[in-house]
């Protein structure tokens, strides 16, 4: 892509240009991603990383930008404000034959590389297995030696609540096909947690045709979902909320209500009133018993105070509350509710808290998503660096023309264009499989080259993907060959994407389910219209989904083995 103007760093007074940039776009706690075709860094790969880093921390996207927290309790994009500033400065000056090293949110050096190597190499929250506990991690964090990267917080490709929207939709839709003949009208979905990830649930449920009740103790989280169009109504009163919910369920209306309250208390009341959801799950921040979950019997203010004054007492109360919470879910399950764990490690901590039968609740991946993983499918996402929503519209239409036979994808894009509000830089997510991702990436690069979009496009994905994660209580739960805990696969994914020429890559520990329970790799690549980008896109968007097919074929899944033959991946 031809630059509309020179990089600011090409100007005579580079130090002044850097300071001007920081004051305009990265003056803590106000982070703003630049928009438009003008380069500020020395090349588009570095510019893309810079804009996405700032996008992660922007007020439109991040849960707590003043703490550098993007989502998921304490999931950060940088360790300290000083580290965030240094990351910005280094990305502004990064050459095409250098790669920046990030260690748990802190820039620690640059290495010699080459133009088709990753510009940024990120490792977050990784500990030697014996020390991979929240207790040890928190000791390091308190000493300023580490941060928790979650999944896409510390890898700079979080796109707001939309990031998990289609995955949540696919899960609810698959549940509806299995249990309700594919029709979720007149069906009630109930869940806890309406934060950065859980906030996708109400819109996903209503897009699938259901009535939705979500519960969160923090009214600000619910208000944010209403403001961004992910949730229809907020209620502060249980009886008021239930009048709305039951009326909508009776009429078959796809309406979502967010109730301010404790999810355990609400489940208890629902049982007392003999109101049994058709579908029941949870996306509270149960992965972190201290900094995420809020125990029963405490107001939000009391919980925040106890976290500071006595974290061990807080954790004990969280575990007891999770056991109570899951106990009510199990009773709902016994009474006919289709109940599943949504990957936040609630079952494990409930079991630690005393609920021995917690794992009678199945996980969502083995129940509904693994068949998609066997096809190399997963959450393909892209961002318009121009900041212009029209560029996303152009990409949506181009994908429809590229894959006219993929009616499911076309239907999703049509719905998303009408119902999804952008947070930060305009973005889109849509599940694509082996072969499709490479074609889409090359198409996007062509759109940039031909000037059909106004600036380069960033392509990434969630770490929750077909071949990028080892998480025995989530993505790799119940593997056919018992290889749930084998983490060679995300490491191979990381190395394959480094070899292929991703623009930045990351390897994290503990995302989604907490410290000690997962390892996972992230990948981002920029389509800037160049021939270099074509070469990198062909390699990376082949290699990345291929790892999913390799992983599941090796585990004995016949569908994956058939797809390996189909795509020429057998050896």
512 appears as a binding residue in the annotation: yes
What DSSP string describes 229-251? TS-SEEES-HHHHHHHHHHHHHH
3-class DSSP state of 332: helix
Is 395 annotated in a binding site? The answer is no
Rounded-to-integer distance, Cα 429 and Cα 303, Å: 35
Regions of the chain with pLDDT less than 50: 2, 4-6
82 annotated as a binding-site residue: no
DSSP string, 75-134: EESSSSHHHHHHHHHHHHH--TTEEEEEETTEEEEEEE--TTS-SEEEEES---GGG-SH
396 marked among binding-site residues: no
Contact predicate 345/473, CB 8 Å: yes
| Other beta carbons within 10 Å of 246 | 15
Cβ contacts of 571 within 8 Å, gap of 6 or more: none
Cβ distance 510 to 518 under 8 Å?
A: yes
What pLDDT was estimated at residue 13?
78
- Report d(CA 3, CA 5) in Å as an integer: 5
Q: How far, in Å, CA of 485 to CA of 229, rounded?
A: 38
Q: According to the annotation, is 322 in a ligand binding site?
A: no
The reply to whether 236 sits in an annotated binding site is no
Classify residue 427 by its DSSP letter: E
Question: What is the reported pLDDT for 14?
Answer: 83
Give bridge partners of residue 460 from the DSSP assignment: 381, 524
Q: Which pLDDT score, from 0 to 100, does residue 570 have?
A: 95
Q: Return the pLDDT at 10.
A: 54
453 annotated among ligand-binding-site residues? no
Contact predicate 469/521, CB 8 Å: yes
pLDDT the model gives residue 440:
98
Is 430 annotated as catalytic? yes
| pLDDT the model gives residue 196 | 77
Per-residue pLDDT, 73: 86
With tokens 């009326």, the residue in question is 247
Concatenate the DSSP letters of all residues of 501-537 into one string. Answer: T-SEEEEEESTTT-TTS-EEEEEEEEE-S-HHHHHHH
The DSSP result for 22-49, as a single string, is HHHHEETTEE----SS--SSSSHHHHHH
Parallel/antiparallel/unpaired status of strands 504-509 and 120-124:
parallel
Q: Is 482 annotated as a binding residue?
A: no
Strand runs (DSSP E) across 295-398, as ranges? 338-339, 378-384
Q: Write the pLDDT tens digit of every residue in 82-111.
A: 999 999 999 999 999 999 999 999 999 999
215, 294 contact by CB (below 8 A): no
pLDDT value of position 215: 98
Question: What 3-state DSSP class applies to 367?
Answer: helix
What φ, ψ does residue 455 adopt, rounded to 5°?
A: -160, 170
Which token pair is 293?
A: 């979950």
**What SS3 class is residue 145?**
coil
Task: Give the pTM.
Answer: 0.90
Question: CA 477 → CA 278, 293, 547, distances in Å?
Answer: 24, 22, 17
Tell me the per-residue pLDDT of 344-389, one tens digit each, with 9 for 90 and over.
Answer: 999 999 999 999 999 999 999 999 999 999 999 999 999 999 999 9
Q: Any known ligand binding at 365?
A: no
Residue 2 pLDDT: 47
Placement of tokens 């993007």 in the chain: 70
221 among annotated binding-site residues: yes
Which domains are assigned to the chain? 1-61+78-148+373-571 (3.40.1770.10), 162-362 (3.40.50.10730)
Give the CB-side neighbour count of residue 198, counting CA atoms within 13 A: 33
287 is an annotated ligand-binding site residue: yes
**Cα–Cα separations (whole angstroms), residue 101 to 54, 89, 157, 506, 524:** 17, 13, 17, 10, 15
CA pair distance 455, 448, nearest whole angstrom? 7
- The answer on whether 76 is annotated among ligand-binding residues is no
Q: In the 8-state DSSP scheme, what is residue 172? A: H
Name the burial class of residue 489, with classes exposed (0-12), middle (13-18) and buried (19+) by CB atoms within 10 angstroms of its CB.
buried
Q: Which two tokens stand for residue 190?
A: 């109930």
**Residue 301 CB-half CA count within 13 A:** 0
Active-site hit among 175, 430, 466, 536: 430
Q: What tokens appear for 185 in the block?
A: 């009208």
How many other CB atoms sit within 10 Å of the CB of residue 82? Answer: 11
Annotated binding residue 146: no
**What is the distance, to the nearest Å, from the Cα of residue 137 to the centroid of all Cα atoms in its chain?**
22
* DSSP three-state, residue 260: strand
| 325 annotated ligand-binding residue | no
pLDDT score at 12: 57
Confidence at residue 335, expressed as pLDDT on a 0 to 100 scale: 97
């Amino acid at each position: 892509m031809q630059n509309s103007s020179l990089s600011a760093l090409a100007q005579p007074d580079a130090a002044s240009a850097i300071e001007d940039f920081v004051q305009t776009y990265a003056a803590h706690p106000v982070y703003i991603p630049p928009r438009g075709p003008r380069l500020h860094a020395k090349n588009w790969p570095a510019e893309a990383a810079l804009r996405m880093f700032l996008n992660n921390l922007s007020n439109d996207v991040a849960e707590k930008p003043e703490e550098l927290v993007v989502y998921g309790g304490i999931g950060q994009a940088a360790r300290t404000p000083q580290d965030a500033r240094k990351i910005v400065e280094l990305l502004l000056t990064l050459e095409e034959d250098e790669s920046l090293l990030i260690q748990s949110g802190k820039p620690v050096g640059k290495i010699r590389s080459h133009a088709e190597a990753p510009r940024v190499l990120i490792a977050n929250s990784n500990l030697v297995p014996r020390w991979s506990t929240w207790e040890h991690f928190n000791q390091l964090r308190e000493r300023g030696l580490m941060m928790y990267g979650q999944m896409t917080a510390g890898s700079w490709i979080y796109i707001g609540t939309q990031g998990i929207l289609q995955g949540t939709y696919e899960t609810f839709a698959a549940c509806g096909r299995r249990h309700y003949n594919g029709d979720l009208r007149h069906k009630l979905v109930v869940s806890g947690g309406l934060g950065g990830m859980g906030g996708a649930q109400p819109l996903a449920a209503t897009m699938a045709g259901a009535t939705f009740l979500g519960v969160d103790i923090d009214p600000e989280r619910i208000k944010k979902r209403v403001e961004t169009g992910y949730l229809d109504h907020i209620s502060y009163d249980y009886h008021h909320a239930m009048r709305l919910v039951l009326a909508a369920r009776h009429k078959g209306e796809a309406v979502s209500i967010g109730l301010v309250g404790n999810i355990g208390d609400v489940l208890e009341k629902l049982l007392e009133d003999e109101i049994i959801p058709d579908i029941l799950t949870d996306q509270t921040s149960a992965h972190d018993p201290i900094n995420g979950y809020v125990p029963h019997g405490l107001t939000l203010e009391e919980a925040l105070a106890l976290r500071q004054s006595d974290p061990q007492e807080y954790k004990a109360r969280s575990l007891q509350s999770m056991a109570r919470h899951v106990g009510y879910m199990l009773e709902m399950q016994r009474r006919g509710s289709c109940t599943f764990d949504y990957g936040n490690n609630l079952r494990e901590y409930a079991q630690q808290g005393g609920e021995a039968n917690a794992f009678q609740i199945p996980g969502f991946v083995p129940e509904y998503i693994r068949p998609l993983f066997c096809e190399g499918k997963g959450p393909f996402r892209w961002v318009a660096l121009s900041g212009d929503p029209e560029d996303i519209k152009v990409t949506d239409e181009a994908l429809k023309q590229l894959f006219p036979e993929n009616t499911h994808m076309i239907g999703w894009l049509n719905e998303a264009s009408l119902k999804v509000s952008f947070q930060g830089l305009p973005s889109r997510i849509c599940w694509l499989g082996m072969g499709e991702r490479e074609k889409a990436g090359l198409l996007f690069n062509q759109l940039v080259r031909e000037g059909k979009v106004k600036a380069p496009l960033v392509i990434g994905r969630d770490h929750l993907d077909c071949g990028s994660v080892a998480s025995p209580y989530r993505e790799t739960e119940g593997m056919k060959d018992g290889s749930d805990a084998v983490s060679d696969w995300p490491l191979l994914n990381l190395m394959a994407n480094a070899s292929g020429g991703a623009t930045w890559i990351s390897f994290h520990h503990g995302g989604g389910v907490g410290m000690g329970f997962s390892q996972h790799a992230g990948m981002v690549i920029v389509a800037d219209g160049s021939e270099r980008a074509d070469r990198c896109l062909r390699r990376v968007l082949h290699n990345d989904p291929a790892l999913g097919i390799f992983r599941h074929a090796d585990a004995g899944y016949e569908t994956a083995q058939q797809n390996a033959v189909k795509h020429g991946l057998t050896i």
